[in-house]
Amino acid sequence: MERLEILELVLNAIEMTNNMREEDQQIPRESTTELYGNNGHLDSMGLVAFLIDVEESLLDEDLQITLSDERAMSQSKSPFRNVDTLVCYIDMLVKELPL
C-alpha cells in the first residue's frame, strides 16, 4: 500500500469520526491536522475509537496491523500526534509486514 493511499485511508477514518461528532467539533480532513496531545482534536477514548476505525479500514485492505501496542506507546514522540505522523507510522508498519 502506497503512502498516499494510507493518507486517504486515514482521512476517511477522520470522516467516519466526524459523522459521530457535532458540527462545531469537526476534525479538519487534512494531513496537518493535530490528532492527540496538545491542540489535538481527540481525547484518549476518541483516539481509541479513531485508531480502531483505522485498523478496521486496514483490515479491509487485508493488512493486519495493531496501531496502539507497546511499540507505539514507547516512541519518544507519539505517532498519533497528527495525521502526517500517523501515516508515517502506518507506512513503516506496512513495510515491515511479511510479503
Partner 1 sequence: MTVKNILITGSSRGLGKELAEHFLHQGYNVYGCSRSNGKIEHNNYHHFELDVSSATQVTEFFFILRKKIKHLDAVINNAGIASMNAFALTPPETFKKIFDINVQGTFLFCQKALGLLKRAKNPRIINTTTVAVPLQLEGESIYAASKSAVEMLTQIIAKEYGGFGITCNAIGPSPIETNLIKGVPKDKIAKIIEQQSIKKMATPADVINLVSFFLKPESSMISGQIIYLGGISK
**What residues contact 66, with CB distance under 8 A and at least 6 apart?**
55
Q: Is 49 near partner 1 (CB under 8 A)?
A: yes
Amino acid at 67: L
Question: According to the binding rule CB under 8 A, does residue 19 interact with partner 1?
Answer: no
Write the CA distances from 52 to 56, 67, 99, integer angstroms.
6, 8, 24
32 vs 96 by CB, closer to partner 1: 96
- The yes or no reply on residue 52 touching partner 1 (CB under 8 A) is yes
- Does 59 bind partner 1 (CB under 8 A)? Our answer is yes
Residues of the shown chain interacting with partner 1 in the complex, contacts defined by CB under 8 A: 45, 48-49, 52, 55-56, 59, 64, 66
